[in-house]
Amino acid sequence: MQDHITPRRVVILGGGFAGLFAARALRKSPVAVTVVDRRAHHLFQPLLYQCASGILSEGQIAQPLRGVLRRHHNVRCVLAEATDVDAGARLVHARRPEGEAVVLPYDDLIVAVGMRQSYFGHDEFAAHAPGMKTLDDALDIRRRIYRAFEMAETAADERERRQWLTFALVGAGPTGVELAGQIREIAGHTLDREFRKIDSAEARVLLFEGSDAVLGAFGPRLAHRAARTLQGLGVELHLGTRVTGIDSRGLTVRDHDGRTTGFEARTVLWTAGVEAPPIAAALAKATGAEQDRAGRILVAPDLTVPGQPEIRVTGDVMSLDKLPGLAEVAMQSGAYAGRSVRHAVEGRTKQPKPFTYVDLGSAAYIARGRAVVKAGPLHLSGFTGWLAWLLIHLAFLTGFRSRLGALLSWSVAFATGSRRERAFTLPDAEVPTARAAGPKASPPV
């Protein structure tokens, strides 16, 4: 009688780019892979802003994890959030959506949990200025953008109308630049001639940035071109400013000279800063690993946690050689971690080569037919940059249907300026306590 051999257990925390590529690298290995994620879908985060602005639907940027991994017969998916790691016993502690505890034993652990929005110690800003890291965030932002125009149409006075028609974005990295450009396009093209009392094209888009340049990581040349394009669209740039307060009516900022200025805006969006989720701190405590200022885990050149060769950290949450938090870094590091486990299972004793990132470039979409792309010495902008952006994102989208659907949506948006995905819902209004006294008079609309 043959003894049953238990396959090596590999637990992957996170179903983003790093986790997905790690699982794919283990597809043909004799291992049992468990992918743990608090959400049941794989999200193409670089296109979240297009969902938020109404170009793409949720289904075009988010695919069910089980569907993506359906042909990986050695992979199972668990809907839960990792909360702690017992490195000595090799256990991951997780919590299911309704609170029940789950314990997952592992022989190899691949951490690919990504990063979350950071408000730099001012978490109270989140209630008034949502970030954009999840699908829920994108839908919330879509609701806020299109609701603002509706509210402006029925505003009681001119001041309130101006407040609703003012959009403030904090952070001029790729997400902030892309979203600012989209809001200007919505105001100037998508909603053109749809309202009777307001001119949507009069909407103001304010972009605030602590440094002295937009898209600073792209270099001075492309940063200058991006700034010029944004200003041509009507985006107002406020560089060298730091936000000191945000409430439901707007924000206050302080410039390099210490002067404080207030801006009235009913819609404030936060696109600045990221930090590691709590599981990163739990892992660092359990293993003695170091963390950088944003909470990323410092890893060895082979992506392992020092002293814990069975634990590999990948993607945005790893800190190695100042690599940026890009999708390409996540994909390559996830694939590297998966291959490392596969080679160990195959009994390869040769020391693995250090992880080497191949820079495939960075891209930011600004407006129809205008984008900036940086790939090594190659710098593209304008329509040429937009074509390169298009090809890059089509190549990385997950699934043929997503690619085809996105291409059709982009074609319609480019040709007409219209957006099909403009539906949004509003929460039920609170019931007034003095309802019995009768309805309150409203201004004529």
Residue 85 CB contacts under 8 Å (≥ 6 apart), including other chains: 91, 92, 93, 109, 279, 282, 283, 286, 287, 311
Find the angle CA(387)-CA(392)-CA(397) to the nearest 5 degrees.
125
Give CA torsion, residues 290, 292, 295, 301, to 10 deg. Answer: -60
The pair of three-digit structure tokens given for residue 104, joined into one six-digit string: 């997952």
Residues 217 and 198: their CA atoms lie apart, in Å, by 38
User: Long-range contacts made by residues 67-74, C-beta under 8 angstroms, separation at least 24?
Assistant: 68/20, 68/42, 68/398, 68/399, 69/20, 69/23, 69/35, 71/27, 72/23, 72/24, 72/26, 72/27, 72/33, 74/7, 74/26, 74/27, 74/29, 74/30, 74/31, 74/32, 74/33
Catalytic annotation present for 236: no
Tell me if 252 sits within 8 A of 244, measured CB to CB.
yes
Give residue 268's identity as a one-letter amino acid code.
V
Reduced to 3 states, what is the DSSP secondary structure of residue 233?
Answer: helix
The pair of three-digit structure tokens given for residue 383, joined into one six-digit string: 């329509």
Reduced to 3 states, what is the DSSP secondary structure of residue 413?
Answer: helix
CA distances from 21 to 25, 91, 329, 353 (A): 6, 22, 11, 18
Give residue 111's identity as a one-letter amino acid code.
V
Residues 231 and 184: their CA atoms lie apart, in Å, by 10
Residue of 81, 98, 160, 178 marked active site:
178
Q: Which residues are catalytic?
A: 178
